[in-house]
A and B are shown apart, each in its own frame.
Chain A
Amino acid sequence: MSPDTAANSYRLGPDERGHFGLYGGRYVAETLMPLISEVGAAYKQAKDDPAFHEEMGRFHKHYTGRPSPLYFAERLTAHLGGAKIYFKRDELNHTGSHKINNCLGQILLARRMGKTRIIAETGAGQHGVAAATVCARFDLPCTVYMGSVDIDRQAPNVFRMRLLGAEVKAVESGSRTLKDALNEALRDWVANVHDTFYIIGTAAGPAPYPEMVRDFQCVIGEEVRSQIVEAEGRLPDTVVACIGGGSNAIGLFHPFLDEPDVRIVGVEAAGRGLESGEHAASLTGGAPGVLHGNRTYLLQNDDGQITDAHSISAGLDYPGIGPEHAWLKDAGRAEYMSATDAEALEAFQLCARLEGIIPALEPAHALAWVIRAAPDLPRDHILVMNMCGRGDKDVFSVGDALGIEL
Chain B
Amino acid sequence: MSRIAARFSALREADRAAFMPFVSGGDPDFDTSLAILRRLADAGADLFEIGVSFTDPMADGPTVQAGGARALAAGMNMGRVLDLVRAFRAEDDDMPIVLMGYFNPIYRYGAERFAADAKAAGVDGLITVDLPPEEEEELRGPAERAGLDIVRLIAPTTDEDRLPLVLERASGFVYYVSIAGITGTRSPTMADVEFAVDRLRRFTELPVAVGFGINTAEQAGAVARVAEGAVVGSAIVREIGAGGPDMLDRVGALARELAEGVAGARA
Contact = CB atoms under 8 A, between A and B. Distances in A.
B203 interface: no
Max chain B C-beta neighbours (<10 A), residue from A25, A35, A173: A173
Nearest to A304: B108
Contacts of B159: 34
B130 A29 contact: yes
Interface residues of A, number: 38
Contacts, number: 121
B204 interface: no
Interface size of B as a range? 35 or more
Given A190-B180, A304-B78, A26 B135 contact: yes
Interface in A300-315: 300, 302-306
B56 interface: yes
A113 interface: no
Contact of B58 (A35, A287, A292, A298): A292
A65 to B, nearest CB: 36
Contacts of B72: 305
Interface stretch (A125-133, A179-187, A379-387): A179-187
Contacts of A302: 108
A304 B132 contact: no
B145 to A, nearest CB: 21
A375 B57 CA distance: 46
A291 B181 CA distance: 19
B55 A305 contact: yes
Nearest to B60: A187
A34 B157 contact: yes
B134 A187 contact: no
B59 A29 contact: yes
Max chain B C-beta neighbours (<10 A), residue from A186, A290, A302: A290
A174 interface: yes
A17 B166 CA distance: 16
Contacts of A163: none
A26 B137 CA distance: 13
A304 B109 contact: yes
Contacts of A173: 62, 65
A289 interface: yes
Contacts of A25: 134-135
Interface in B219-248: none
B104 A304 contact: yes
B154 interface: yes
Interface in A15-54: 17, 25-35
Given A289-B104, A305-B55, A187 B155 contact: no
Contacts of B57: 183
Interface string A149-187: 000000000000000000000000110000110010011
B162 to A, nearest CB: 6
A342 interface: no
A174 B129 CA distance: 19
A293 interface: yes
Contacts of A31: 59, 155-157, 177, 180-181
A351 interface: no
A288 B110 CA distance: 12
A190 B182 contact: yes
Interface in A189-217: 190-194
Interface string B95-132: 00000001111111100000000000000000001111
B54 interface: yes
A305 B105 contact: yes
Interface of A: 17, 25-35, 173-174, 179-180, 183, 186-187, 190-194, 287-293, 298, 300, 302-306
Given A191-B185, A192-B180, 19 more contacts: A17-B134, A26-B134, A29-B155, A31-B181, A33-B155, A34-B159, A174-B56, A187-B58, A190-B58, A194-B180, A290-B103, A293-B130, A300-B108, A303-B105, A304-B104, A304-B106, A304-B107, A305-B72, A306-B54
Interface of B: 53-59, 61-62, 65, 72, 77-78, 102-109, 129-132, 134-135, 152-159, 162, 166, 177, 179-182, 185
26 contacts: A27-B103, A28-B132, A29-B59, A29-B130, A29-B153, A30-B152, A30-B154, A30-B155, A30-B177, A34-B159, A173-B62, A186-B58, A187-B59, A190-B58, A190-B59, A190-B181, A191-B181, A193-B157, A289-B108, A290-B103, A290-B104, A302-B108, A303-B77, A304-B105, A304-B107, A306-B104
